[in-house]
Amino acid sequence: MAPVKTIAVIIAMKAEAAPLVEHLGLKKAEPSPFPGPIPAEVFSGAVGDATVHVCCNGEAKGFGVDSVGTVPAALTAYQICEHLKPDLLINAGTAGGFKAMGGAIGDVYLATAFKNHDRRIPIPGFDAYGVGHADAAPCPALRLATGFKPGVVSTGNSLDAPDVDVESLKKNEASVKEMEAAGIAHVCAMFDVPLLAVKAITDIVDGDKPTQDEFLENLGAAAKALQGAVPKVIEFVAGKELGAL
């Protein structure tokens, strides 16, 4: 099994990515390595013996905000797999946690699996497809080295959590609620690219504060947590064979 030499990190929001890009000393790739009108931005450089690309989804045309959700994430992931040819893809970002699952603001999770909580298709066969299930790349040594919490990452396209989504999240046994990873996992399965996800908790889904308020309040702190967490992951995996993770 070949060693991990090219690592891509996909982060939805530029504010989440900026501290990491600065910390790693990466430079914006100009022109973009991605053809066509996709607005994704790529920041590249060497970290140890590995080539690292940090990719953001870019600005949503006509809205002036970051492109978030499963569709932009999947589009960016497709371009990454097609043109950057990573040995390993890491989805990093902020997310909601659950006090019922032992989660707290500032916790960092390393995903065990990816599911959807807002794709409800009550037709035989399609029901299982709607929820989906993709395992994260096995990484017992990495988990031991970092001490990050394990948990299922559940993906939906809404920041809030109405009752119907809460029920789905419980069925998924989710420790993390976010808006990208399952879409990225779908693409990684197509390209047979192993996927890890590192998520820093900004808000508690089953807590007392409105999600949007708690998210904005803790976004900066969570971005800094990623700044510390993701380099640890990169430094650990770079140069190792996947089977040694």
> Which amino acids are annotated catalytic?
16, 203
The pair of structure tokens assigned to 152 is 């299922």
| Number of CB atoms found within 10 A of residue 60's CB | 14
Between strands 50-56 and 195-204, the pairing is unpaired
Could you please report the per-residue DSSP string of the chain? --B--EEEEEES-HHHHHHHHHHHT-EE-SS-SS-TT---EEEEEEETTEEEEEEE--BPTTT-SB--SHHHHHHHHHHIIIII--SEEEEEEEEEE-GGGT--TT-EEEEEEEEESS----STTHHHHHH--EEPPP-HHHHHHH-PEEEEEEE-S-SS--HHHHHHHHHTTEEEEESSHHHHHHHHHHHT--EEEEEEEEEETTSSS-HHHHHHHHHHHHHHHHHHHHHHHHHHHTTSBGGG-
The pair of structure tokens assigned to 215 is 């998210």
The pair of structure tokens assigned to 141 is 């040594």
The pair of structure tokens assigned to 37 is 């009108």
